[in-house]
Structure 1
Amino acid sequence: VVDYTAEEGYYRVDNSSLPSLFNGDFKEALKESFQRIKYGGVTPTAQKVYYINLQEIKGIKFGTPNPLNYFDNFYNSELFLRAFGTYSIKITDPLLFFMEAIPRNKDRVNIEDINEQYLAEFLEALQAALNQMSADGIRISHVPSKSRELSKYMADILDEDWRRMRGMEIQAVGIASISYDDESRELINMRNKGAMLGDPSVREGYVQGSIARGLEAAGSNEGGSATAFMGMGIGMQGAGNFMGAASQANQRQMELEQAQNTQNTQKNHWFCTNCGAKNFGNFCSECGTKRPSANVCTKCGYKPSGKTPNFCPECGSKF
């Protein structure tokens, strides 16, 4: 490499130093001709001009051929995923990039031509970045929307080595899609179903739906509905007790939650300072007066337990 420049403008190649018959260098010109014959008619001292793109190179595709492990704190399990997306790089040192990354036998090189040799390093850094995101408590389903954080993790891992060895660095990483292996997908569905059944109203619907499906299956029996219902009755003597107990437990939990919600609502009541009506919302249901921000004396801090008086009984200040 003789010289380089990053400035815009026109440049002229000056070959005045080459030997020529017109300036009296007969011996040197003859020697140059013999050298060209030896090299197939091409001067052995030829120089080439290379243009290197210093802008952000976007749209470089990547994919994980094998599943990557990711520990999800929400599911408290080790999951395995495949990720597909794109990333972008920027050349920070064109001379180092030319010397270390560009093949010498090509006149034109696209990033796809040399991406394969760096893909293994990129995927290794991707695994390390995903491990860091897992340690930070990011759910696996939120990874595609965390492209900025992922880019930062990847830059922290790769930039120092790539900048020092090849004169380039990571600019952005975007994951287009994430897919799970069969075991991870089954585990996620099972945990989601278990979380859904934690709601007593959902559990009650599941119990009633199971009973309805059993009755429907019995009615469609080819041997006759009477025989089917007799068999079903015998079977449900044991299962019915369990279903009934489960349904009663669901009803009790729903009633308890409703009572707690009602109790919390009763605790949040207030009395209108204009008409004295008892209210639960943000405005009085009788006169429309807005609920006061704090039912407390601003001077001495007295809090009335019942209806708000017009004057504070402790210091006499007006409420």
Structure 2
Amino acid sequence: MNIIDRVKYNGPGDVFAWRWPHDSLVWGTQVIVNQAQEAVFYKDGKALDVLGPGRHTLKSANIPLLEHLVNISFDNQSPFAAEIYYVNKAVNLNMKWGTQEPIPILEPVYNIYIPLRAFGQFGIKITDAKKFVTTLVGTVDEFDAEQILNYFRGHLMSRIKDFISKKVINDRISVLNISAHLNEMSAALQNDIMAEFKRFGIEIVNFYLNSINVPQNDDSVIRLKEILAKKAEFDIYGETYNTVKMFDVAEKAASNEGAGGVAGAGVGMGVGFGIGNQMMKLNSTSMENEQSTIMAGPSCSSCQQTIPQGAKFCPSCGSEQVQAQVKKFCVDCGTERSLDAKFCPGCGKKQ
């Protein structure tokens, strides 16, 4: 058995926990712990004492729990077995996540099921090295970011999908405008998942929901785009939308008449008749309005009710109607004359 008198971190730079490969120690062994690290001692499957950054000499004064499990000889040089785990407590901000399967959500504005994908990243820090090693690392030699993501992936995806679904439905947020709520949703999600990570001695430093998007080739997304395009046309044309669409169909039918043969001509005639009916209705309405205006008689000078042409008394109130006096003038000199005059009193010309 090789006796180790100096222990120092010699593992990869991107792991959260690394096990010292030897377990033969003696009292007096030098243990070097780098900045932002802690060393956790294991004995007989139990996590015991924790050493912080610096150079430490193994002795009963600074490893009191280990002392009770080790038979100390009179010369303190007898080897004993103990495991040492180095835990990296530096912040890792590059923990990336993404939904493997789309989240089907009923779009609250257009009532169409839309598949959403979400992507982001978060940062973590090991705050309790002893709890982290005992509850998560176990007996593996190395524990890196990918293993943490694999362990928490189920919890993350469950909480993220549930949160996004409730947010969209309860707040009636359109998937087309959801990007405006990313910061708010990121903060809420960080608070939501924090408790689960804390159980393992891990702190969520930050959490970012970077993007929420939809697959462009999905049938429901294509259908939503078509609806939005039609809505935009309707907003532009307003009440004339149906008439404009009829003219578009007629134009297409006319352009396809040669290729479509009789069928194309039939479609064109049908559409043409439809447009003709629309125009006839408009003309008919206009003529009816004009006719009603022409046939309407004068109004009573007292009650303003319509009375027949030439009536001397109002049939509604009985008041006498004053007939307008018609005046005539000579066509040559302009002198006023009586209605039955045959010659102008001014110039004598025959009228």
Number of residue-to-residue matches in the alignment: 219
Equivalent residue in structure 2 for 1:209, among 224, 243, 248? 248
Q: Work out which of the residue numbers 238, 243, 264 in structure 1 matches 2:270.
A: 238
1: CA distance, partners of 2:194 / 2:54: 33
Give the 3 Å change call, closer, same or farther, for CA 244–98 of structure 1 in structure 2. farther
2:121 maps to what in 1? 87
CA contact (8 A) 1:148 1:172 kept: no
Specify the alignment match of 1:131 in structure 2.
165
Q: Quick one: which of 203, 225, 228 aligns to 1:192?
A: 228
SS at match of 2:249: helix
Query: Does 2:87 align with 1:50?
Result: yes
Corresponding position of 1:71 = 106
Residue 281 of structure 1 is matched in structure 2 by: none
Distance 1:247 1:198 in 2: 21
Tell me whether 1:119 sits opposite 2:153 in the alignment. yes
User: Following TM superposition, by how much is the alpha carbon of 1:192 offset from its aligned partner in structure 2, in angstroms?
Assistant: 1.4
Out of 25, 31, 34, the position equivalent to 2:74 is 25
User: Which amino acid in structure 2 is aligned with residue 50 of structure 1?
Assistant: V
Unaligned residue ranges in structure 1 (runs of 5+): 19-23, 34-42, 222-227, 251-319
Higher mean C-alpha displacement, 165-174 vs 139-148? 165-174
C-alpha distance in 1 between matches for 2:227 and 2:186: 30
Aligned amino acid, residue 209 of structure 1:
D
SS of aligned partner of 2:98: strand
Normalising by structure 1, we get a TM-score of: 0.56
Report the equivalent of 1:100: 135
Q: How far does residue 151 in structure 1 lie from its aligned partner after superposition?
A: 0.9
Cα distance per residue 1:218-242 (max 9 Å; x no partner): 2456xxxxxx4x7655443432233
Counterpart residue type for residue 216 of structure 1 = S
CA contact (8 A) 2:182 2:211 kept: no
Correspondence for 2:206: 171
1:15 partnered with 2:58: yes
Hey, what's the Cα distance between the residues in 2 that align with 1:156 and 1:249?
A: 65
Higher strand share: 2
Tell me the amino acid that sits aligned with residue 174 of structure 1.
Answer: L
- Residue 340 of structure 2 corresponds to none
Note closer, same or farther for the CA distance 1:99–1:177 as it changes in structure 2 (3 Å cut): same
Alignment check: 8 A CA contact 2:95 2:149 kept: no
Q: Distance in 1 between matches of 2:100 and 2:281?
A: 48
**Separation of aligned partners in 2, 1:16 and 1:97:** 25
More helix by share: 1
SS of residue in 2 equivalent to 1:50? strand
Q: How far has the Cα of 1:249 moved from its partner?
A: 10
DSSP 3-state at the match of 1:210:
helix
Contact in 2 for aligned 1:159/1:169 (Cα 8 Å): yes
Please tell me the root mean square deviation across aligned C-alpha atoms, in Å: 3.6
For the structure 1 residues 152 and 244, does the alpha-carbon distance in structure 2 shift closer, same or farther, using more than 3 Å as the test? farther
> How far apart, in 2, do the equivalents of 1:189 and 1:214 lie?
25
Contact 2:97/2:120 (CA < 8 Å) preserved in 1?
Answer: yes
Return 5+ residue gaps in structure 2 as ranges.
1-39, 41-48, 64-72, 283-351
Q: What is the TM-score normalised by the length of structure 2? A: 0.52
Q: Which has the larger radius of gyration?
A: 2
Q: 1:242 to 1:172 in 2, by over 3 A?
A: farther
Aligned pair in 2 of structure 1 residues 48, 120: CA closer, same or farther (>3 Å)? closer
- Give 1:189 shift: 2.7
Following the alignment from structure 2 to structure 1, what is the Cα–Cα distance between the partners of residues 188 and 137? Answer: 27
